[in-house]
Structure 1
Amino acid sequence: MRAGTDVRSAFRRWRADRPFWGGVLLTLGGAEILLTMKASLKVVLHVGMQGLAGYLLPTLMVLLGLLTLFHPTQRLFYSITGVLVSLGTWPTSNLGGFFVGMLLGVVGSSLAFGWLPDQEPRRSRRERRRSALGAG
């Protein structure tokens, strides 16, 4: 039972050192768009270079999401590029994976951009009141 706890606490420490949810959402957004590109729907339309861009941009989203997870020091560049690529999927990839993938990419990139690595953990309102009452 102790080995499972150690693995869980090691994962929590690893996750705390990076913009985890931003990278995960950006990766999921790109994967969702790639899956909708493979869908056999009559709505799907691929024409020339737009068809190539339809596969290239979501692949870049997945790559940027993984880079955000495994190389968080460059998160600002990855997140800005992620937002631009996510918005670029609107005209090229079935309306950004029917809006879902594009929104996941934009939200994930925004979370990665706003992540601060050396911020103290948030304290609850109750803890702040206790410390204020104890000091006063």
Structure 2
Amino acid sequence: MRGPRGKFRPAFRRWRAGRPFWGGLLLALGGAEILLTLKASLDVILHVGMQGLAGYLLPVVMLLCGLLILFSPSQRLFYSVIGVLVSLGSWLTSNLGGFFVGLLLGVVGSCLTFGWLPDQEPRVSRRRRRKEARAAKAGARPLEREAGRTASVT
């Protein structure tokens, strides 16, 4: 018997395969992390930055860019460029970019998104490539023997 999990998982995998999922997720997580460090207690905060709109605006833009990458992958290049610029700008405005964690998540997520290719074939694992090479090598041996026999006969 298949439960609801059996139907949801393949559908989610198909949805995830058509977009730069990990890049968008990391960018959104970076923005969320920076927003959370802005609300930290005064003992934890190194400096609040500009004390105003920019300290909250840049992480919100990071979060929005990450979500837009997930739900509108056709504009991924624009969102990833904006995401990396805003992530680097958060270093000045938002507690050193959320104590460097949010900054790094944002930059890595933006770079992953920028490098994602939608029509690329999935990579074949190393184990599978070795297995196919062994099968091809084993399949070529009998043909080489037959070719050697026919060459010596003629």
TM-score of the alignment, normalized to the shorter chain, above 0.5: yes
Instruction: Output aligned runs, 1:36-75, within 5 Å.
Output: 36-42=37-43, 43-46=45-48, 50-75=51-76
Instruction: Tell me the TM-score normalized by structure 2.
Output: 0.80
Gaps of 5+ in 1: none
User: What is the letter of the counterpart of residue 118 of structure 2?
Assistant: P
User: What is the letter of the counterpart of residue 16 of structure 2?
Assistant: R
Asked if 1:3 corresponds to 2:4, the answer is yes
Encode CA deviations 1:51-87: one digit per residue, 9 max, x unaligned: 2100000000000000000000010000011000000
Instruction: Output aligned runs, 1:1-136, within 5 Å.
Output: 1-42=2-43, 43-46=45-48, 50-132=51-133, 133-134=135-136, 136=140
**Number of paired residues?**
135
Quote the Cα distance in structure 1 between the aligned partners of 2:124 and 2:108.
25
Encode CA deviations 1:106-125: one digit per residue, 9 max, x unaligned: 00001111111100011123
Q: Which has the larger radius of gyration?
A: 2
User: What is the letter of the counterpart of residue 123 of structure 1?
Assistant: V
Gaps of 5+ in 2: 141-154
Which one has more relative contact order, counting CA pairs under 8 Å at least 6 apart?
1
Encode CA deviations 1:26-74: one digit per residue, 9 max, x unaligned: 0000000001111122435446x55210000000000000000000001
Quote the Cα distance in structure 2 between the aligned partners of 1:39 and 1:77.
31
Quote the Cα distance in structure 1 between the aligned partners of 2:16 and 2:98.
28
Quote the Cα distance in structure 2 between the aligned partners of 1:24 and 1:45.
27
Instruction: Tell me the TM-score normalized by structure 1.
Output: 0.90
Indicate the percent of aligned positions where both proteins have the same amino acid.
70
